[in-house]
């Protein structure tokens, strides 16, 4: 009885003008409606409507790109939550870290989640690159997406690096001193790059604010745009490519 009423409620909702204005595809399970579910959704439409079943197997891609994307999602969510307690100023930044770790409810959990997801994201992005390399998926027609992927790896490393300064502890300070001195060694522009990056000659409050803006706004936006292109390009280039031998030797035909 109750199930019946839930069902009728669902049907009433499904037929309502509001629901019909949001979800345009029909309800019957047809190929057209299945396609429309993907086509008409902003978030799904970068994906192909149909994929080969074998591309979903774990050993086809080891799901490394997906793991990296999942890490990015976790990092965005935990990062936004951490921002509610964090001031990018000296010495408040360090005090906020202490507060987050020891006082704020679940603060230590969120910080640790952010940190571990960051480590995993760099690691899985790197493994993803190796996987693509060894499966020879960088070759035409995927050569453009390989380059996009390399830029994404650089953005990931820069995100990891800019986040390193934010706790404003000894490790952060010297890590960034060393890193920006490496940038200084670049020919011709090195000195200028370091000056612009730090907003001065030494690692100071200016540097903290700049790294904060890069970490929380500039680089995540760059990541979002490039990631969208990257995933859309996978569809455009004919889906994910698995082991290269699958391409070259077609399935042996059964001889009766």
Partner 1 sequence: MPDDLDEIFQRTEEEPSRRDFFGSVGLAACAAAVAGSGVVTLDYLRPKVLFEPPTRFRAGSPLDYTEGIVRFNKQQKAYVVGAASGVYALSAVCTHLGCITRFLSDEKCIACPCHGSRFDLEGNVIHGPAPRPLPWLEVQVDAAGSLIVDTSVVIPHGKIFKA
Contact residues toward partner 1 (CB under 8 A) are 174, 177-178, 180-182, 195-196, 199-202, 204, 206
Helix H or strand E segment including 241: none
Nearer to partner 1, 208 or 227 (CB): 208
Nearer to partner 1, 179 or 243 (CB): 179
Nearer to partner 1, 10 or 174 (CB): 174
- Contacts of 90 by beta carbon, 8 Å cutoff, 6+ apart: 168, 204, 205, 208
Give 81's Cβ-side CA count (13 Å radius). 18
CB 74 within 8 A of CB 117: yes
How many other CB atoms are there within 10 angstroms of residue 210's CB atom?
A: 19
Nearer to partner 1, 68 or 180 (CB): 180
What is the nearest approach in angstroms of partner 1 to the Cβ of residue 178? 4
What is the nearest approach in angstroms of partner 1 to the Cβ of residue 57? 46
Distance CA 19, CA 230 (A): 32
What is the nearest approach in angstroms of partner 1 to the Cβ of residue 218? 12
What is the nearest approach in angstroms of partner 1 to the Cβ of residue 88? 16
User: What is the C-alpha radius of gyration for the chain, rounded to an integer number of angstroms?
Assistant: 24
Token pair 């522009």 is found at 189
């Amino acid at each position: 009885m109750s199930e019946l009423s839930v069902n009728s409620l669902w049907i009433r909702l499904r037929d309502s003008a509001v629901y019909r204005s949001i979800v345009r595809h029909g309800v019957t399970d047809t190929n057209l409606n299945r396609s429309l579910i993907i086509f008409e959704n902003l978030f799904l439409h970068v994906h192909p409507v149909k994929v080969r079943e074998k591309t979903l197997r774990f050993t086809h891609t080891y799901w490394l790109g997906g793991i990296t994307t999942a890490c990015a999602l976790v990092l965005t969510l935990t990062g936004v939550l951490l921002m509610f307690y964090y001031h990018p100023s000296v010495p408040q930044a360090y005090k906020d870290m202490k507060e987050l770790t020891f006082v704020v409810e679940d603060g230590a959990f969120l910080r640790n989640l952010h940190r571990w997801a960051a480590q995993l994201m760099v690691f899985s992005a790197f493994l993803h690159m190796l996987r693509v390399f060894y499966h020879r998926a960088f070759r035409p027609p995927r050569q453009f997406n390989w380059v996009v992927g390399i830029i994404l790896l650089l953005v990931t490393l820069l995100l990891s690096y800019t986040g390193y300064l934010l706790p404003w502890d000894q490790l952060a300070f010297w890590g960034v001193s060393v890193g920006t001195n490496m940038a200084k060694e670049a020919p011709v522009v090195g000195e200028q790059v370091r000056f612009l990056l730090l907003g001065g000659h030494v690692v100071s409050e200016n540097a903290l604010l700049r790294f904060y803006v890069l970490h929380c706004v500039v680089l995540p936006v760059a990541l979002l745009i490039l990631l969208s292109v990257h995933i859309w390009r996978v569809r455009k280039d004919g889906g994910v490519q698995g082991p290269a031998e699958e391409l070259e030797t077609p399935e042996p035909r059964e001889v009766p």
